[in-house]
Amino acid sequence: MATKSSNAAKKKEVKKETKLGMTVKKDDNFGEWYSEVVVHSEMIEYYDISGCYILRPQAMSIWETLQAFFDPEIKKMGIKNAYFPLFVTENVLQKEKDHIEGFAPEVAWVTKSGKSDLEVPIAIRPTSETVMYPYFAKWIRGHRDLPLKLNQWCNVVRWEFSNPTPFIRSREFLWQEGHTAFATKEEADQEVLEILELYRRVYEEYLAVPVIKGRKSELEKFAGGLYTTSVEAFIPHTGRGIQGATSHCLGQNFAKMFQINFEDDKGEKGMVWQNSWAYSSRTIGVMVMVHGDDKGLVLPPKVASVQVMVIPVPYKDADTTAIKAACESTVKELNTAAVRADLDTRENYSPGWKYSHWEMKGIPLRIEIGPRDLEKSQVRLVRRDTGAKVDVPMTELVEKVQKILLSIQENLFNTAKEKRDACIEKVHTWDEFTTALNNKKLIFAPWCDEKEVEEDVKARTKGDHGAAKTLCSPLDQPEITEGTVCIASGKPAKKWTYWGRSY
Ligand code: 87F
């Protein structure tokens, strides 16, 4: 006789094989739940190279939506798109030592063409500073050539070794990388914040994920730069922070290395001030982790390629032709009003099967139309976020659907923010700090802002789940009252900083 647990295992196997749906709960095993969501929602297909994933149309369309927002915004700022090569020579890659140091193990190399060894191995870009900046030096001569503001949409490769995760940590990923050069630091400083605000909007307005805008510590900043700002998200289920995007002021470090000089209007020589900034396909993973539930993916309407799925509900003796016609006209009316609606007419699946299928795929709103709805000239709307059902007269269809989609977008953000905020713990002592860390909190603590102290915190909190580190010091700083001391060193605190384990 089969035991209970082996039965359960078998059931899971069968479910997986037939792709019936979600078998793991978000609370029970977050990692497995996540893999199941991204695969069953048809965003990701696993590939036979570890850390590489296929982005299917469901994922790619979200990427395109974010791009359709971000690209015109940076163009308004005078940034232009370009495309630089995928490959970089060792010589050029090694030019900025601080930059490449520490990253070197992650660089992938091409060493052969066919069977013969290349004369010199060629690296695949892990980021494009060293690819681009020799040409910045060539193109920038006088102050009239400034500012130079370029962006590229591309893939990069970083040969990660720790625990690959779709979207979150993959060996190849998509991003935009912006690289700009200015005559003055003031201009560079201003752009860093303008870009950071766009990143906030990507997360909060599109993905409905709350983020904190802040500055990275000296230990966590991009070593090749002057300072790093970031938007930081938080995953309540794992208690981990996650860097959402970064906007760096590079200062004049790269200008020095690559001799990016210009002559100002008085004929004096100067070095440019540079920025670089990026967000990647990681954005999508953060969205999945924050909003997904036991039924699968939950898509914010603004990024859902299909916002409304219409499902005919033909009872046995119902007039299926009339129902079909009503479904078709519903889709048409919504499409005309620029609502992205689609119809599932497949006859070999039951309405109930379709409900869970489209729930798993995260479609924000479902419309059911059955014989009773036809009689009453109404349709039934079912929200993916709350499961709430409401019957709406066909005459009010467009207006009601648009209103509910807005409400879903808003509710997803508000719920995510409430959950995140409930995890924030303001602490004043080391005891409170370690307790909060064990409780998977997003820790907010006064800190002396010393590198050695952060290193010490890392060492003291090292464990199976990784050490605590600074996530960012929010730009929006609370006042530091007289006598406030650093949680780790007891020295006078210089800033309030978010701490936690992170991805
Ligand atoms: C991995 C291998 C080689 C990160 C790497 O954040 C080099 C690097 O330079 C590397 N991983 N970085 C830092 C990237 C800095 C910067 N690049 C432009 C950005 C934004 C976009």
Q: Which secondary structure element, helix H or strand E, spans residue 60, and what is its range?
A: helix 57-76
Q: Report the C-alpha gap between 426 and 103 in whole angstroms.
A: 34
Q: With pLDDT > 90 as the criterion, what percentage of the chain qualifies? A: 90
| pLDDT given for residue 1 in this prediction | 42
pLDDT digits (tens, 9 = 90+) for 202-218: 999 999 999 999 999 99
Please tell me the residue having the least CA distance from ligand 1 atom 13: 222
160 lines ligand 1 (CB under 6 A): no
Any idea of the CA torsion for 393, 399, 405, 409, to the nearest 10 degrees? -140
Answer yes or no: is pLDDT of 264 > 50: yes
pLDDT digits (tens, 9 = 90+) for 310-319: 999 998 777 8
Which atom of ligand 1 is closest in space to residue 177's alpha carbon?
21
Range 278-315 burial, b when 16+ CB lie within 10 A, else e: bbbbbbbbbbbbbbbbebbbbbbbbbbebbbbbbbbbe
243 lines ligand 1 (CB under 6 A): no
99 lines ligand 1 (CB under 6 A): yes
Please tell me the residue having the least CA distance from ligand 1 atom 5: 103
Which atom of ligand 1 is closest in space to residue 99's alpha carbon?
9
Cα–ligand 1 centroid distance for 188 (angstroms): 19
- Six token digits for residue 342: 């689609």
Supply φ then ψ for residue 200, to 5 degrees: -60, -45
pLDDT digits (tens, 9 = 90+) for 132-188: 999 999 999 999 999 999 999 999 999 998 899 999 999 999 999 999 999 999 999
Q: Which secondary structure element, helix H or strand E, spans residue 412, and what is its range?
A: helix 397-423
Helix axes 282-291, 57-76, angle to 10 degrees: 120
Partners of 502 in beta bridges: 241
Q: Provide the pLDDT confidence category of residue 102 given band limits of 50, 70 and 90.
A: confident
Q: Which secondary structure element, helix H or strand E, spans residue 223, and what is its range?
A: none
Q: Report the C-alpha gap between 274 and 300 in whole angstroms.
A: 35
**Long-range interactions of 241-244: CB distance < 8 A, separation 24+:** 241/442, 241/471, 241/498, 241/500, 241/501, 241/502, 241/503, 242/168, 242/282, 242/286, 242/502, 242/503, 243/471, 243/502, 243/503, 244/199, 244/203, 244/209, 244/211, 244/279, 244/282, 244/283, 244/286
Q: Are 303 and 287 in contact (CB under 8 A)?
A: yes
Q: Report the C-alpha gap between 262 and 311 in whole angstroms.
A: 63
Contacts of 461 (CB under 8 A, 6+ apart): 434, 437, 467, 468
| pLDDT given for residue 344 in this prediction | 98
| pLDDT given for residue 3 in this prediction | 47
The average pLDDT across 288-316 equals 96
pLDDT digits (tens, 9 = 90+) for 387-446: 999 999 999 999 999 999 999 999 999 999 999 999 999 999 999 999 999 999 999 999
Q: Which of left, alpha, beta for 390 (phi over 0: left; psi -120 to 50: alpha)?
A: beta
Q: Which of 90, 96, 103 maximizes ligand 1 atoms within 8 Å of its Cβ, making it the mutation to test the pocket?
A: 103
Three-state SS at 202? helix
277 lines ligand 1 (CB under 6 A): yes
Q: Report the C-alpha gap between 101 and 103 in whole angstroms.
A: 5
Answer yes or no: is pLDDT of 16 > 90: no
| pLDDT given for residue 55 in this prediction | 98
- CA 331 distance to own-chain centroid: 31
pLDDT digits (tens, 9 = 90+) for 31-79: 999 999 999 999 999 999 999 999 999 999 999 999 999 999 999 999 9
